[in-house]
């Protein structure tokens, strides 16, 4: 037996696939089920996978396959119908192109690098807002799981809260990816590597360019 929310979710996913061929986003599923967070959607999907109703397609963004659909209350009398079930369209792999502005330690303002090239990114990795990407250079954030050669996906914004990983432009000349913290009247940019020291600046020296939204990594 499925719970009410599990039943609602599998029917919502099935209806969306039948209508458009594209799996709904986690945000859409959260709103459709009136859930407070996307973590609730993750738990429901995992439960449906365990019960054999749903399967995630590997290496594809927003790709879900409905293996079986529970009876809907209004259609139980029609269960014995001889009409074959419709073939579901294959879920699409949504990819968006985001601007790739260069290497994070390139020593140039982000604005000077805009429009250079773009990077294909699974849409499921991005939330709302405008995004860009930067290639990570160096090992100052390795303890946060951010490695040299990774692509940092950045949501554009000019404010930050303590503890967020941000792209900070220092004196309009050098961009860096660090933890953002306020320390008295100063701004402290913390690395995630014990081999490096925090950097302290006056607020006028630092401009937040965006907040880390995700990481892409290539394996070769």
Which residue in 84, 98, 192 sits closest to 142, CA to CA?
A: 192
Judge whether 25 counts as a catalytic residue: no
Judge whether 23 counts as a catalytic residue: no
d(CA 119, CA 59): 17
Tokens of 181: 């913290």
Contact between 130 and 188 under an 8 Å Cβ cutoff? The reply is no
**Catalytically annotated residue among 178, 195, 211, 220:** 178
- Report the Cα 109 to chain-centroid distance in Å: 25
d(CA 146, CA 193): 10
**Catalytically annotated residue among 23, 25, 30, 140:** 140
Sign of CA dihedral 77, 82, 83, 88: positive
What b/e string do you get for 5-20 counting C-beta neighbours within 10 Å, with b at 16 or more? bbbbbbbebbebbeee
Catalytic residue numbers, as ranges: 140, 178
């Amino acid at each position: 037996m499925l719970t009410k929310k599990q039943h609602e979710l599998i029917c919502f996913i099935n209806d969306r696939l039948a209508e458009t061929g594209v799996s709904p986003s986690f945000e859409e599923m959260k709103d459709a089920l009136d859930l407070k967070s996307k973590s609730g959607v993750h738990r429901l999907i995992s439960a449906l996978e365990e019960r054999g109703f749903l399967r995630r397609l590997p290496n594809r963004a927003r790709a879900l396959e409905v293996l079986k659909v529970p009876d809907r209350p209004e259609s139980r009398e029609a269960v014995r119908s001889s009409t074959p079930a419709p073939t579901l369209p294959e879920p699409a792999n949504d990819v968006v192109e985001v601007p790739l502005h260069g290497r994070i330690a390139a020593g140039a303002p982000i604005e000077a690098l805009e429009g250079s090239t773009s990077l294909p990114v699974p849409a499921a990795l991005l939330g709302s807002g405008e995004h860009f990407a930067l290639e990570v250079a160096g090992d100052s954030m390795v303890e946060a799981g951010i490695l040299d050669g990774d692509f940092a996906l950045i949501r554009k914004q000019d404010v930050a809260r303590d503890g967020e990983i941000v792209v900070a432009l220092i004196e309009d000349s050098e961009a860096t990816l660090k933890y953002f913290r306020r320390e008295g009247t100063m701004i402290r940019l913390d690395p995630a590597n014990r081999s490096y020291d925090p950097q302290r600046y006056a607020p006028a020296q630092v401009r937040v360019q965006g907040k880390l939204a995700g990481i892409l990594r290539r394996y070769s």
